[in-house]
Structure 1
Amino acid sequence: MSNSYAQAVLRTPDLGKALDVAHKLLALAETSGMDVTFLARVHASQALEELSEILTEWNWWSEGADRPASSDDSDDPAGHLPVRVKSFCQEPDTVDAFLAAVGNGASVVCWDFSSWPEAPEIGLGIGGERGAYVSLCVNARDLYLDEPSYDHTVYVHVKQVEAERAPWLAAQVGLHVFGELVMADD
C-alpha cells in the first residue's frame, strides 16, 4: 500500500458545486483507466440493499468495538447497523447512484487516475504513480468519515515530494488550498 497526501480545495454545503469542482479537477488529469473507491457510513438497511445493487464488490465492518462484525464473518450487514462500507475499483459512472443510495449519510468518493498534468511554472513534470486522486467527502470533513458535517469537502491528492502541486491544481480551477496537507491511505 502507498500513501498520497491530500489537501482541501473547497468546502461547501452545495453537493452539486462540490461535484462540479471535482469534475473540473478531473478534466485536468489523464484519466484513462480511471476507477473509483467508495467509503460510506450506512445506517439503514434500504441503503445497504441499494448499494448491493450498485457495487460489484464491497466490504463492510460494524462500528464500535463492542459489536465486532464484518464481511469477513459472512454475516448480514443489516443485522449490525451502523456499518462502514468500502468498495474499490468501481466504474466512474456509478458515482451518482452511490451518492443517491447513501443519501444524507457520510461518504467519500475517491477518483483514482493515471496522472496530473505537467506544472512547468513550479518545476514539476507529469505527476502520478500513486499520487493522483480527487476525493469528495460528502457530509464529512475528513477522508475517514470521523468528522461528520453538513457540508462537503473536495481534496486533491499529490505525492508528498510534490506538495506544491496541490495549490497549483487548486489555482487551475480558480480556488486555493486550505488546511494542512494530510497523509491519505490509498
Structure 2
Amino acid sequence: MSNSYAQPILRTADLSAGLHAVEKLLGIADLSYLEVDFDARISSTHSLSQVLALLPDANWWAYGDSDAASDAGNSPSALLPIWLRRMASAPETVEPFLKAVGDSPATVRWDFNAWPEAPEIGLGVGGTRGAFVTLCAHARDLDLEEPAADHTVFVHVKQVEAERAPWLAAQVGLRVIGDLEMAPY
C-alpha cells in the first residue's frame, strides 16, 4: 500500500467556500464508494466533549504520548491536547464534525472510488489509492502542525499522476497553490 500525494488548490477564510470546492470536486469523482475520515488536534474540553458526543467511538491519544490513549482507559480531558481520529464515517457527519471541533485544527478526508479520466493530459481513470480530497480546517497542512485562521483544500493523486492535480483544480475553476507532498496516510 502506498501513500497518496496531495496538492493544495484553495485557501480561504470562508469554511463554506472550502466545502463548496470539495462538493464540486466530488461532483466529478466516481463516488460508488464514499467514506470520510476525520482527524483533529483538540485542546479544549468543550470541543472534546462536542466531538466525542458526535463520534463516541473515535480513537484518540495524548499529543506526543501514544501510551496515553483511548485503548488504555485514560480520560482524554485530563490529557489535553489530544489527537483524535475517526475513520470510515458517513459523509453526513462532516458538517456536524466541523461544528463540533470549533477552532481546533482538523482534517476531513473524502475517500472515494476514482477520479475521472483526463484524456487531455494522457491519464485514464485515477484509482482508489490516489482518489481523495482533504479539507484542512484551521490548519495549513495535512499533519495539523500549522494552525491557521483559514482553511485549505487539497486534492490527492498518485505520485506518478502528479499532473492530475492541476487538471482537477482547473475542472472546478481553481489552480494549484502549493507543492505536491506525500500525504500522511
TM-score bucket (shorter structure): over 0.9
Cα offsets for 1:94-125 (capped at 9, x unmatched) = 00000010011110000000000010000111
User: What corresponds to 1:135 in structure 2?
Assistant: 134
Cα offsets for 1:28-85 (capped at 9, x unmatched) = 10112200010001122232222223226311111245x9511231111111111110
Number of positions where the alignment pairs a residue of Structure 1 with one of Structure 2? 185
User: What corresponds to 1:9 in structure 2?
Assistant: 9
Q: Distance in 2 between matches of 1:57 and 1:169?
A: 34
Q: Which amino acid aligns with 2:165?
A: A
Q: Distance in 2 between matches of 1:50 and 1:150?
A: 20
Q: Distance in 2 between matches of 1:113 and 1:3?
A: 15
Bigger CA drift: 166-175 or 48-57? 48-57
Contact residue 9 and residue 177 of structure 2 kept, 8 A = yes
Contact residue 61 and residue 67 of structure 2 kept, 8 A = yes
Query: Structure 2: which 5+ runs fail to align?
Result: none
Cα offsets for 1:146-186 (capped at 9, x unmatched) = 01111100000000010000000000011111211000132
User: What corresponds to 2:167 in structure 1?
Assistant: 168
Contact residue 56 and residue 90 of structure 1 kept, 8 A = no
Asked if residue 98 in structure 1 is aligned to residue 97 in structure 2, the reply is yes
Identity rate of aligned residues, in percent? 54
Asked if residue 55 in structure 1 is aligned to residue 46 in structure 2, the reply is no
Mapping for residues 81-120 of structure 1, pairs under 5 Å: 81-120=80-119
Distance 1:56 1:132, change over 3 A: farther
Q: Distance in 2 between matches of 1:115 and 1:55?
A: 27
Query: Structure 1: which 5+ runs fail to align?
Result: none
User: What corresponds to 2:44 in structure 1?
Assistant: 44
Q: Distance in 2 between matches of 1:126 and 1:171?
A: 17
SS at the partner of 1:185?
Answer: coil
Q: Distance in 2 between matches of 1:9 and 1:34?
A: 21
Contact residue 58 and residue 85 of structure 1 kept, 8 A = yes
Distance 1:95 1:146, change over 3 A: same
TM-score (ref. length: structure 2) = 0.95
SS at the partner of 1:114?
Answer: strand
